[in-house]
């Protein structure tokens, strides 16, 4: 019986194209301005000089480095607050999350994006503010998403039994790490994002498929 669900963002609730073609370029284009305006921002302390080139390289290699994720989140904040950015969510996600929350299932987010960036994305969707649906948010400060210790730490933080906690992601290595920590897992195989379907984990093409696979409230 699943009592808690932890969801990834990119490729799971949100198209990969939105992250790579909208969010990342938005931050990349404004990075030099951010460095000029906030040279003493604490997240820059861990960035080796030359800072602009280092950060641009990290973005280009899609490095999941906490200081980069913090800085991207700071830049996206201006975009969400001005209305230039709106968080893209797959249409099956909001109604299914609402059904699960109404059934008493506790909902959490774990993404490489910073917690403030996660809240901005779910707080500014075409369906309105989805943040009240989630009990807590986790990012790389808890550990990297391919390390099983990250899932063990999240499971301890949220309480309950790991096997009654379901982790949703499109990335098999993340699901392997979560399964090693004893969590139930399901791979989202979104046709638009074209991931390689796992042979080790249950798969679903949308959140309603997750509901069917685990006997949860669905459409």
Ligand X SMILES: CSCCC(=O)C(=O)COP(=O)(O)O
> Which residues contact Mg ion by CB under 5 A?
8, 10-11, 170
Find the residue with minimal CB distance to ligand X. Answer: 113
Q: Is 121 in the site for ligand X (CB under 6 A)?
A: yes
Contacts with 190 (C-beta within 8 Å, 6 or more apart), sequence order: 11, 12, 15, 90, 170, 205, 206
Using CB under 6 A as the binding rule, whether residue 119 contacts ligand X is answered as: no
- Give the helix ranges, DSSP H, for the chain: 16-18, 24-37, 51-60, 66-82, 93-102, 115-123, 148-158, 172-180, 207-214
CB atoms within 10 A of CB 101: 17
- Cβ-based neighbour number of residue 82 at 10 Å: 8
Contacts of ligand X in 136-155 (CB under 6 A): 145
Nearer to ligand X, 75 or 216 (CB): 75
Q: Name 33's Cβ contacts closer than 8 Å, sequence gap at least 6.
A: none
Of the candidates 2, 6, 10, 47, which one interacts with ligand X according to CB under 6 A? 10
61 or 199: CB nearest ligand X: 61
Give yes or no for residue 92 binding ligand X (CB under 6 A).
no
User: How far apart are CB 1 and ligand X at their closest, in Å?
Assistant: 26
- Interface residue list for ligand X (CB under 6 A): 8-10, 19, 23, 64, 69, 72, 111-113, 117-118, 121, 145
């Amino acid at each position: 019986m699943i009592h808690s669900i932890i969801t990834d963002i990119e490729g799971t609730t949100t198209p990969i194209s939105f992250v790579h073609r909208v969010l990342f370029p938005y931050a990349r284009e404004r990075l030099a301005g951010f460095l000029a305006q906030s040279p003493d921002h604490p997240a820059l302390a861990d960035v080796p000089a030359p800072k602009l080139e280092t950060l641009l390289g990290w973005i280009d290699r899609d490095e999941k480095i906490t200081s980069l994720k913090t800085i991207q989140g700071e830049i996206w904040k201006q975009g969400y607050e001005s209305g230039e950015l709106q968080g893209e969510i797959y249409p099956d996600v909001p109604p299914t999350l609402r059904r699960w929350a109404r059934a008493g299932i506790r909902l959490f987010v774990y993404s490489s994006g910073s917690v403030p960036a996660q809240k901005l994305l779910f707080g500014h969707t075409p369906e309105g503010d989805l943040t009240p649906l989630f009990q807590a948010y986790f990012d790389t400060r808890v550990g990297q998403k391919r390390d099983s210790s990250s899932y063990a730490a999240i499971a301890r933080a949220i309480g309950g039994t790991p096997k009654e906690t379901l982790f949703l992601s499109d990335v098999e290595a993340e699901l392997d790490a979560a399964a090693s920590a004893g969590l139930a897992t399901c791979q989202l195989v979104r046709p638009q994002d074209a991931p390689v379907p796992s042979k080790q984990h249950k798969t679903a093409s949308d959140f309603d498929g997750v509901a069917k696979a685990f006997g949860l409230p669905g459409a």
